[in-house]
A and B are shown apart, each in its own frame.
Chain A
Amino acid sequence: GNSVTQMEGPVTLSEEAFLTINCTYTATGYPSLFWYVQYPGEGLQLLLKATKADDKGSNKGFEATYRKETTSFHLEKGSVQVSDSAVYFCALTSGTYKYIFGTGTRLKVLA
């Protein structure tokens, strides 16, 4: 069946460091891929998405590229801020329109 695997956290970085959060997936067909973010005390919200191979989603300085050959959708940001501290979820939809979420990666950015 479909699944999403994320790197385990927590990830702790200093402000202005480079961020990578790994996400790989297993899916039949051609899934759409998403990153959602959950800030402390708030609900999940869409960060970015990509709907076909080689697409790059981007938002708020974050980027992720849909790599079909490696079944990956890694999240990157060149310079993180304290305000980026949150839990990040990789997710996919495929065929049944049902979202499958990863377990989440907690990011802590220190000033």
Chain B
Amino acid sequence: EAGVAQSPRYKIIEKRQSVAFWCNPISGHATLYWYQQILGQGPKLLIQFQNNGVVDDSQLPKDRFSAERLKGVDSTLKIQPAKLEDSAVYLCASSLDTQSLADTQYFGPGTRLTVL
């Protein structure tokens, strides 16, 4: 079974530039998550999709971050404009069924973003 795919793996940009990350979840997984993991911290949920609808985006900085999941499959996370504090690893994860509190999440390898 193919895992969660993310691209690019690494990205270096200057502040105020824009950047986009792509995620393709495991086939058949209805739920998709984007996390931000700052060095030395645990992952923080940015946004959660159930199919192509948003379940939770309470921690997404909506003035600069946006995400979409067209057709309920792959997803794109965008930052515009980027700030220095956005330097982090951006993780995508997917799971089968959000109706279970014990749902296992499957993570991609992440995209390491450096903002100069």
In the bound complex, what is the Cα–Cα distance between A64 and B24 (angstroms)?
Answer: 32
Q: Which B residues are in CB contact (< 8 Å) with A97?
A: 48, 55, 98-99, 101, 103
CB–CB A102/B110 < 8 A = no
A82 to B9, CA, bound (A): 27
A97 to B71 Cα, complex, angstroms: 23
Indicate the size class of the contact surface on chain B: 20 to 34
In the assembled complex, B109 has its CB within 8 A of some CB on chain A:
yes
Q: Smallest CB–CB gap between B7 and chain A, Å?
A: 13
Whether the pair B101, A98 counts as a contact (CB closer than 8 A) is: no
Bound complex: CA of A97 vs CA of B45, how far in Å? Answer: 11
Instruction: Report the Cα distance A91→B44, complex, angstroms.
Output: 11
Chain B binding site: helix, strand, loop or mixed by DSSP? loop
Q: Are A42 and B109 touching (Cβ within 8 A)?
A: yes
Partner of A102, one of B42, B55, B91, B99: B42
**Given A94-B101, A96-B56, A102-B42, A45 and B48 contact (CB-CB distance below 8 Å):** no
Would you give 5 A-B contacts (Cβ < 8 Å), ordered by A?
Answer: A44-B43, A44-B107, A93-B103, A97-B99, A99-B43
Q: What would 16 more interface pairs be, CB under 8 Å, given A45-B106, A89-B42, A93-B102?
A: A31-B101, A32-B102, A43-B3, A43-B107, A43-B110, A46-B105, A46-B106, A49-B104, A51-B102, A93-B101, A97-B99, A98-B45, A99-B45, A101-B42, A102-B42, A103-B42
Q: Interface of B with A (CB < 8 Å)?
A: 3-4, 33, 40-45, 48, 55-56, 91, 93, 98-99, 101-110
